[in-house]
């Protein structure tokens, strides 16, 4: 759906104090139909442009849309300097999120009241849909819409062209307008074995249509930066459980994390890249869109210039004696015990000040106590100095309900019958089933497999009855007894439903025995070809025998390690380092441009300078550099930094050497081979060498190779816990390290 983030650079000189306004809409519940409802004057005018009459009778409720709007409000006030009086959230006690209120406030509050140099934000979270347009240039024949709260009263959706006409007024007034939309219409087919994430999408109302064109250029063609939560034919997922206080849209959840852990004037392309990678770790079928013109990709969130100082800072709010309220919390990855230092003033009498977080209150708020120095004032800026790594799980799995042995055997017999009839889906991670049969505590149920929509399950009598004539059925064999009750330790936790799980347990009747595997919900191998998920698709199929539970535990820990490294690469504790990792085809002298490689190809590892983070004439303290790759099966291989030999960069051999723009890492080139899939290359830099990097950054299964002693260095202990999938306190980690990931899709050699 192409109506999301809109950013506009100012086209005229600012002649007054800049004012920032925001209209935030988050719709979870929709007004029920009301006989005798009389449409407003605005609605009657809008209905004249529509052929037919709106006919919707039902809209699915959401759980995280209003939470999204409230969290965005908190972020705007604490991070971006919006005044609370200039932020309107719908619905509120005085105004519902009706079409009249949305369109009216968008026009009057964000456009009419704004002056040249102002910045306005429109944010929408809720259902998206489409409407047939006889004059549209879209190949589908439909235009995008957003669904207002009064849609079931006969009020038509708000069409994309209606919104575009309002947006177009902002550049004419030299007002910077930002529009964020976390909704979309999903035209995707059924996938995977289990529906997990709720979708912010509703099918179009086919009883109505329009015949309209948009005069003038599209907003992005007029100099607007556009980022959408997903493409118009893909689902926009809602996460039932997150680490940011309740459910959120997957896009907004990722965006909040990225905005919280980035400088306030960070570049839009960096924001997009990080949000995309983080979002796809939880919603792998969702692909955001970035459209940029006229250099907007290198500007800030609201079109502002990017400052040279790219440090992530946290401001002090209220100060009472030694107690400090910090404007930073969960979104900035703050945890109890983190220590921050005040950014020193260059004036006389400046003294070092350090605070320690004592309580995290929410998304953008924490309590801290002064542990060194004095004289903290509201508005003082702090940066991370020592990070307290949270001791929490990195993976949540859902094993489902156990079934009596006789029901398990009945399921095996039913699977064999389905196989004989040619309608059994042997592996739902390969072929998306049309229907799923599974055990639900005390009964067998059948449901159609629609991604993100949990339709009513039909209770079955005897298996395999009541199946559609043309079907591909996935019959999930339940476990014969409850698995892992209190047995999972380390970084894996048991989820209470598929909504809260990263992986689900699938069971199938194999040729020789029952087999089980951990798998991503809603994902198939087809997604690996189109939009690969950040995590491995599934574990190996493991035969049920006396050692099956231990093998399944090890498989889950292997998957947890991948999640741990992905989470660590998004940490706010890392300090920026002015080099990025890249692959270079051996002998080519050029960098790999597309994130895709093929079996049999040969590559070298190189570091490339970030032109904005690398000063032209400055000293950069050398760091130890390690590069390791985690393949699609969760196995890790250390590629650079072995034995801490020749891994300190940049190297200074002269009196005032120029900082290199390119560093070729020593060591042999490497070949691409199986297993093929999504590979994560990690660049880890530290001020001090890691003790025995081979024992930490090489691992297979659920164990590391080499030494098993616990490192004394807090960073090495944190890395060891991540590599082994274990938990435990690691102590305060100094902020003189960095980690970044480079995701590459490896594919088999092309066959002629």
**Angle at CA 319, nearest 5°, toward 314 and 323?**
90
Q: Which residue would you say has higher pLDDT here, 464 or 218?
A: 218
Q: What is the CATH number of the domain that holds 693?
A: 2.70.50
**pLDDT of residue 454 exceeding 80:** no
Residue 169 belongs to a domain? yes
The DSSP secondary structure of 284-312, one letter per residue, reads TT---EEE--TTGGGS-TTSPPPPS----
Residue 711 belongs to a domain? yes
Same domain, 86 and 235: yes
Same domain, 263 and 210: yes
**What does the pLDDT look like over 508-530, one tens digit per residue?**
998 788 999 999 887 787 766 66
Q: What is the CATH number of the domain that holds 286?
A: 3.40.50.1460
SS3 31: coil
pLDDT tier for residue 210 given thresholds of 50, 70 and 90: very high
Same domain, 515 and 542: yes
Same domain, 400 and 337: no
CB atoms within 10 A of CB 51: 11
251: left (phi over 0), alpha (psi -120 to 50) or beta: alpha
**Distance between CA 285 and CA 445 in Å, rounded?**
26
Residue 308 belongs to a domain? no
The DSSP secondary structure of 381-446, one letter per residue, reads EEEEEEEE-----SEEEE------HHHHHHHHHHHHHHHHHT-B-S-TTTS--SEEEEE-SSSEEE
**Distance between CA 703 and CA 742 in Å, rounded?**
24
Cβ neighbours for 455, distance < 8 A, ≥ 6 positions apart: 447, 448
Residue 225 belongs to a domain? yes
**Distance between CA 256 and CA 238 in Å, rounded?**
14
Residue 367 belongs to a domain? yes
User: Which among 123, 85, 116, 107 is positioned nearest to 18, based on CA atoms?
Assistant: 116
Same domain, 382 and 402: no
pLDDT for residue 441: 83
- In the DSSP assignment, the letter for residue 159 is E
**Distance between CA 344 and CA 341 in Å, rounded?**
9
User: Which among 268, 189, 246 is positioned nearest to 4, based on CA atoms?
Assistant: 268
Q: Express as a percent the part of the chain with pLDDT over 90.
A: 30
Same domain, 400 and 376: no
**What does the pLDDT look like over 626-643, one tens digit per residue?**
999 988 777 889 999 998
Cβ neighbours for 539, distance < 8 A, ≥ 6 positions apart: 517, 518, 519, 552, 555, 556, 558, 559
Strand partners, 448: 435
Which helix (DSSP H) or strand (DSSP E) does residue 42 occupy? helix 41-47
Pick from 21-25, 363-367, 426-430, 647-651 the range whose average pLDDT is largest.
21-25
Same domain, 616 and 687: yes
Specify the pTM. 0.77
Same domain, 384 and 405: no
Same domain, 424 and 470: yes
- In the DSSP assignment, the letter for residue 363 is S
Same domain, 263 and 125: yes
Q: Tokens 């059925």 — which residue? A: 473
**What does the pLDDT look like over 566-607, one tens digit per residue?**
777 766 555 668 899 999 998 888 999 888 899 999 999 999
CB atoms within 10 A of CB 303: 21
Residue 564 belongs to a domain? no
**Distance between CA 514 and CA 508 in Å, rounded?**
6
Strand partners, 314: 382
Q: Which pair of tokens denotes residue 465?
A: 């009855």
Domain that holds residue 356: 314-388
**Angle at CA 478, nearest 5°, toward 474 and 483?**
140
What is the average pLDDT score of the chain?
A: 82
Residue 309 belongs to a domain? no
pLDDT for residue 82: 92
| Domain final residue, candidates 512, 529, 558 | 558
Mean pLDDT of 705-718: 62
Report the number of distinct structural domains present in the chain: 4
pLDDT for residue 196: 64
**pLDDT of residue 503 exceeding 80:** yes
**pLDDT of residue 191 exceeding 60:** no
Cβ proximity of 228 and 4 under 8 Å: yes
Cβ proximity of 565 and 680 under 8 Å: yes
**Distance between CA 70 and CA 460 in Å, rounded?**
43
| Domain final residue, candidates 364, 388, 412 | 388
- Say what angle helices 548-569 and 714-724 make with each other, to 10 degrees: 140
| Domain final residue, candidates 388, 423, 453 | 388
Residue 566 belongs to a domain? no
Please compute, for residue 343, the number of CA atoms within 13 A of its CA located in the half-sphere on the CB side. 13
Same domain, 410 and 469: yes
Same domain, 290 and 331: no
């Amino acid at each position: 759906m192409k109506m999301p983030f809109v950013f506009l650079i100012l086209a005229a000189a600012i002649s007054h104090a800049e004012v920032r306004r925001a209209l935030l809409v988050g719709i979870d519940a929709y007004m029920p139909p009301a006989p005798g409802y009389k449409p407003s004057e605005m609605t009657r005018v809008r209905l004249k442009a529509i052929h037919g009459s709106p006919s919707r009778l039902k809209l699915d409720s959401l759980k995280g849309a209003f939470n999204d709007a409230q969290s965005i409000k908190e972020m705007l006030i604490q991070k971006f300097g919006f005044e609370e009086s200039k932020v309107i959230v719908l619905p509120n006690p005085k105004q519902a999120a009706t079409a009249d209120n949305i369109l009216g406030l968008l026009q009057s509050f964000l456009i009419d009241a704004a002056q040249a140099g102002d910045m306005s934000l429109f944010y929408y979270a809720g259902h998206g849909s489409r409407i047939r347009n006889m004059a549209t240039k879209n190949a589908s024949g439909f235009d995008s819409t957003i669904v207002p709260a009064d849609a079931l009263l006969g009020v038509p959706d708000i069409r994309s062209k209606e919104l575009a006409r309002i947006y177009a007024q902002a550049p004419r007034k030299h007002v910077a307008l930002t529009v964020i939309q976390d909704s979309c219409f999903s035209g995707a087919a059924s996938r995977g074995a289990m529906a997990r994430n709720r979708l912010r999408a509703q099918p179009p109302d086919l009883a109505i249509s329009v015949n309209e064109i948009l005069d003038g250029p599209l907003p992005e063609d007029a100099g607007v930066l556009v980022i959408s939560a997903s493409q118009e034919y893909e689902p926009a997922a809602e996460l039932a459980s997150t680490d940011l206080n309740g459910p959120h849209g997957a896009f907004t959840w990722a965006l909040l994390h990225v905005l919280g852990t980035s400088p306030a004037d960070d570049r839009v392309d960096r924001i997009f890249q990080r949000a995309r990678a983080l979002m796809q770790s939880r919603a792998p079928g969702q692909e955001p869109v970035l459209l940029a013109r006229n250099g907007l990709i290198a500007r800030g969130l609201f079109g502002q210039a990017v400052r040279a100082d790219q440090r992530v800072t946290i401001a002090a709010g209220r100060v009472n004696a030694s107690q400090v309220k910090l404007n930073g919390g969960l979104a900035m990855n703050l945890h109890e015990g983190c220590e921050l230092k005040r950014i020193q003033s260059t004036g006389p009498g400046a003294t070092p000040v350090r605070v320690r977080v004592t309580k995290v209150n929410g998304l953008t708020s924490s309590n801290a106590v002064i542990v060194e120095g004095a004289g903290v004032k509201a508005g003082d800026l702090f940066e991370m100095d020592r990070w307290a790594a949270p001791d929490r799980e990195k993976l949540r799995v859902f094993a489902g309900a156990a079934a009596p042995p006789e029901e398990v055997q009945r399921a095996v017999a039913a699977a064999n019958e389905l196989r004989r009839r040619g309608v059994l889906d042997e592996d739902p991670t390969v072929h998306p089933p049309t229907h799923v049969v599974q055990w639900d505590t005390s009964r067998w149920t059948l449901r159609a497999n629609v991604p993100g929509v949990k339709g009513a399950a039909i209770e079955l009598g005897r298996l395999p009855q009541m199946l559609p004539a043309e079907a591909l059925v996935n019959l999930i064999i339940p476990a014969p007894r409850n698995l892992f009750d209190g047995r999972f330790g380390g970084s894996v936790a048991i989820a209470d439903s598929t909504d809260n799980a990263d992986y689900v347990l699938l069971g199938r009747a194999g040729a020789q025995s029952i087999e089980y595997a951990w798998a991503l919900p809603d994902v198939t191998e087809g997604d690996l070809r189109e939009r690969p998920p950040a995590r491995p698709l599934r574990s190996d199929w493991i035969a049920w025998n006396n050692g099956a539970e231990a093998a399944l535990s090890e498989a889950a820990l292997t998957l947890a390690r991948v999640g741990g490294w992905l989470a660590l690469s998004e940490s706010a504790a890392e300090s920026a380092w002015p080099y990025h990792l890249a692959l270079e085809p051996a002998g080519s002298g050029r960098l790999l441009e597309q994130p895709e490689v093929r079996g049999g190809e040969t590559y070298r590892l190189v570091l490339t300078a970030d032109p904005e983070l690398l000063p032209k004439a400055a000293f950069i303290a050398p760091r130890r550099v390690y590069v390791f790759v985690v393949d699609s099966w969760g196995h890790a291989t250390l590629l650079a930094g072995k034995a801490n030999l020749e891994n300190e960069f940049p190297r200074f051999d002269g009196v005032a050497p120029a900082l290199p723009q390119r560093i070729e890492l020593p060591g042999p080139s490497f070949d691409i081979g199986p297993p093929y899939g999504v590979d994560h290359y990690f660049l880890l830099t530290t001020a001090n060498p890691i003790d025995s990097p081979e024992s930490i950054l090489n691992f297979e299964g659920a164990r590391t190779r080499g030494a098993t002693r616990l490192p004394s260095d807090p960073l090495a202990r944190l890395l060891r816990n991540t590599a082994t999938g274990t938990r435990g306190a690691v102590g305060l980690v100094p902020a003189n390290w960095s980690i970044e990931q480079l995701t590459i899709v490896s594919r088999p050699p092309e066959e002629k």
